[in-house]
Amino acid sequence: MGPADTEYGAGVEPVRSPGRLQEERKGVSVADLSDIERMVGDWERNAVERSQRFQAMQHEVEQISITESVANGAVSVTVGNNGIPTDVRMTDAVRGMSPDEIAANVLKAMQKAQSKYPQVIQEIVAGTVGESDSAAQHIVRTAAENFPEAPPEDPEPPAPGRQLRIENEADDEPPRPPRRPAPPRRDDDDDFGDQSFLRRD
């Protein structure tokens, strides 16, 4: 029997601290606890950074202002950060439009401005939160669903000034000289007066 056997007895394990015994009973080691603490710390830091990125995104979204015009700039509409019109402007050119034409052009300009909204949102998301974030992807997708591409615009009619110029080109030609009157007839001319040369008495 060796010295260790004399002190502890044969097959007796060394004495463990109460805390160590409690950890082993739970099946968790000190190394495992360190890993968990590190994971929690990383998650908290990521959550804070993600929150800051979303705050930056929200700040830029609040500054959105998109203006588009139609009818050669006669009607302009501005939409804000939620895609809702915030301003409508018209030039003197609308005086030549009917009320229905003005209303149709306002609608066209609004749809044209709103169709640019998803692209602006996508650029903001890419520069702040990142396009790989699932919440950011949902935001971009929702914007595209609410504001689709604008319908194609009708060809713009020629400017009124050009139309007038074309119409006046014929008027600018010099007038033709008047026809010369026929010479008076002499009394001794052999003619039949008002009778036709095809008729005989």
What's 13-64 look like in SS3?
CCCCCHHHHHHHHHCCCHHHHHHHHHHHHHHHHHHHHHHHHHHHHHHHHHCC
List the CATH number of the domain containing 134: 3.30.1310.10
Q: How far is residue 117's CA from residue 114's CA, in Å, rounded to a whole number? A: 5
Q: Is residue 189 part of a domain?
A: no
pLDDT at 163: 42
The span from the CA of 75 to the CA of 102, in Å, is 8
Residue 44: predicted pLDDT: 84
Reduce the DSSP state of residue 143 to 3 states and report it. Answer: helix
127 is a domain residue: yes
Digits of tens for pLDDT over the chain (201 positions)?
A: 555 555 545 555 555 555 555 555 555 566 677 777 778 877 888 888 889 999 999 999 999 999 999 999 999 999 999 999 999 999 999 999 999 999 999 999 999 999 999 999 999 999 999 988 899 999 999 999 999 998 887 665 554 444 434 444 445 556 666 666 656 555 555 544 454 434 444
**This prediction's pTM:** 0.57
Range of the domain at 93: 32-146
- Residue 11 domain flag: no
Q: Is residue 78 part of a domain?
A: yes
- Residue 179 in domain: no
pLDDT value at residue 36: 79
- Check residue 174 and give its pLDDT: 61
> What is the strand order of the sheet 75-79 is part of?
66-70, 75-79, 85-90
Could you tell me if residue 169 is inside a domain?
Answer: no
Domain assignment present for 55: yes
Query: Which helix (DSSP H) or strand (DSSP E) does residue 85 occupy?
Result: strand 85-90
Residue 85 lies in a domain: yes
What is the count of structural domains for the chain?
1
Give me the pLDDT at residue 167, please.
Answer: 46
pLDDT of residue 98: 96
pLDDT value of residue 38: 76
